[in-house]
A = this chain, B = another copy of it.
Amino acid sequence: MLTNYYTEQYRESLLHNVIPFWMKHSPDNTYGGYFTCLDREGNVFDTDKFIWLQCRQVWSFSMLYNMVEQKKEWLDMALLGAHFLQKYGRDREGNWYFALNREGKPLVQPYNIFSDCFAAMAFARLYQATGDKEHSNLAVYTFHNILERQENSKGIYNKSYPGTRPLKGFSMPMILSNLVLELEHLLPSTLVEQTISRAVHEVMDVFYQPELGLILENVSPEGHFVDSFEGRLVNPGHGLEAMWFIMDLGARAADQSLIHKAMNIALDILDYGWDKQFGGLLYFMDVKGYPPQQLEWDQKLWWVHIEALVAMAKGYMYTGDKRCSDWFEKLHYYTWTHFPDRENGEWYGYLNRRGEVLLPLKGGKWKGCFHVPRGLFQCWKTLKAIAGKEVVHG
């Protein structure tokens, strides 16, 4: 693997292409917060502020400040979103809304607990940059609120009739397995260990189904397959993202067997989710091969591909398994020949099955300043570590 070459490509792209794009086009210097609906050239086409994306951008700039360089402009950028979120982001009970208008008035109620997850991540990382207790308090309060709400996260907005077909979703344990590390410096270590151990158990022993070799998005409360649209659903990108969270947890616990298990699952997901006809990873699949209910099932999404790259880079770093470096190269080639916009910077988010641009946007309701910069950073640092090992062992 041309490790040094790749390392430089990910670093260069993060610092000189992607981050400058968001620095230039996203700040709302009038009302605070960020514009995330940006067209091909970076022009703002909608001014609504989606809490997921506001929080995720605070996280990204805080992370860069903490991990790459203490640039004042990065911290200012993080604070631009944080102030807006502190002022307008929550209802009276402290739950995070889903969307605000440009001025900060609530548009969509707090039906979606992932707003809270991304808020906790954002303020925990921001606290590392600022040392401001208001930031850590907000992160910790939100984290505890998530733990309390997690069993019925949609609350009154839950449209499922109770009892007929109870299901639990993969997203919650998956995100907790990452979130708890994001807040590790703010939480008692017993809570951290307990949350990790529960999340790893849920992800690896409950949602991962050994007889299928895949992770299901929804299972019964007892962890069984449920033959319904929700129960048959597989989201390869979700599984791949979770597997690098788990590999990092395995490394943290020096648990080689957990690392290997997660790496092998990731390899199985890639085999399963790769589009044999047109290349790239499919968005949604039905585990029994039936038509999925998601009409966008065959599209190629930016986050799926960058998360897959991170998973393979980490798999290779932790194990040296050549299947990981082979997949990394295959994913790298597909990703870099399809997603980046060489003319105007950043990545397209949504391609059709053939890999053609489906929506000519750089940001929207769901794509913001998060997966691309986080993934580029993770690949850069992981590849650099691999290069270091290659020097040592080579």
Interface residue A365 (Cβ < 8 Å from any Cβ of B): yes
- Greatest chain B CB density within 10 A among A39, A295, A350, A353 is at A295
A294 to chain B, nearest CB (A): 9
Contacts of A46 in B (CB 8 A): 227-229, 290
Given contacts A295-B299, A295-B358, A353-B352, contact A101 B290 (CB under 8 A): no
A98 adjacent to chain B (CB < 8 Å): yes
A359 at the B interface (CB under 8 A)? yes
**How many Å lie between the Cα of A23 and that of B33 in the bound state?**
57
- Contact indicator per residue, chain A 33-55, by CB within 8 Å of chain B (1) or not (0): 00001010000011010000000
Minimum Cβ distance to chain B for residue A206 (Å): 22
Among listed A160-168, A188-196, A256-264, interface-contacting one: A160-168
Residues from chain B with a CB closer than 8 A to the CB of A296 are 295-296
Decide if A159 touches B160 in the complex (CB within 8 Å). Answer: no
**Which single member of B97, B111, B291 contacts A359 (CB below 8 Å)?**
B291
* A contacts with B, residue count (CB < 8 A): 43
A283-315 interface with B by 8 A CB criterion: 288, 290-293, 295-299
**Cβ contacts under 8 Å, A107 to chain B:** 160-161, 164-165
A298-B358 in contact (CB<8A): yes
Task: For the complex, give the distance between the alpha carbons of A89 and B227 in Å.
Answer: 22
In the bound assembly, the distance between CA atoms of A229 and B48 in angstroms comes to 9
Between-chain CB contacts (< 8 Å), 28 pairs? A37-B290, A39-B290, A45-B288, A45-B291, A46-B227, A46-B228, A97-B161, A101-B164, A101-B165, A105-B164, A106-B164, A107-B160, A107-B161, A107-B164, A108-B159, A109-B161, A111-B159, A157-B157, A157-B159, A229-B365, A291-B359, A291-B364, A295-B299, A295-B358, A295-B359, A298-B352, A298-B358, A352-B353
On A, residues with C-beta under 8 Å from B are: 37, 39, 45-46, 48, 97-98, 101, 105-109, 111, 156-157, 159-161, 164-165, 227-229, 288, 290-293, 295-299, 350, 352-353, 358-361, 364-365
A45 vs B164: C-alpha distance when bound (angstroms): 20
Complex alpha-carbon distance, A160 and B101, angstroms? 12
On chain B, the residues within 8 Å of A165 by CB distance are: 101, 107
Please give the distance in Å from A98's CB to the nearest CB on chain B: 7
Q: In whole Å, how far is A166's beta carbon from the nearest beta carbon of chain B?
A: 11
Residue of B nearest to A295 (CB): B296
Q: Which chain B residues border A48 with CB–CB below 8 Å?
A: 228-229
CA distance A231 to B48 in the complex (A): 12
Given the complex, which residues of B lie within 8 Å of A290, measured CB to CB?
Answer: 37, 39, 45-46
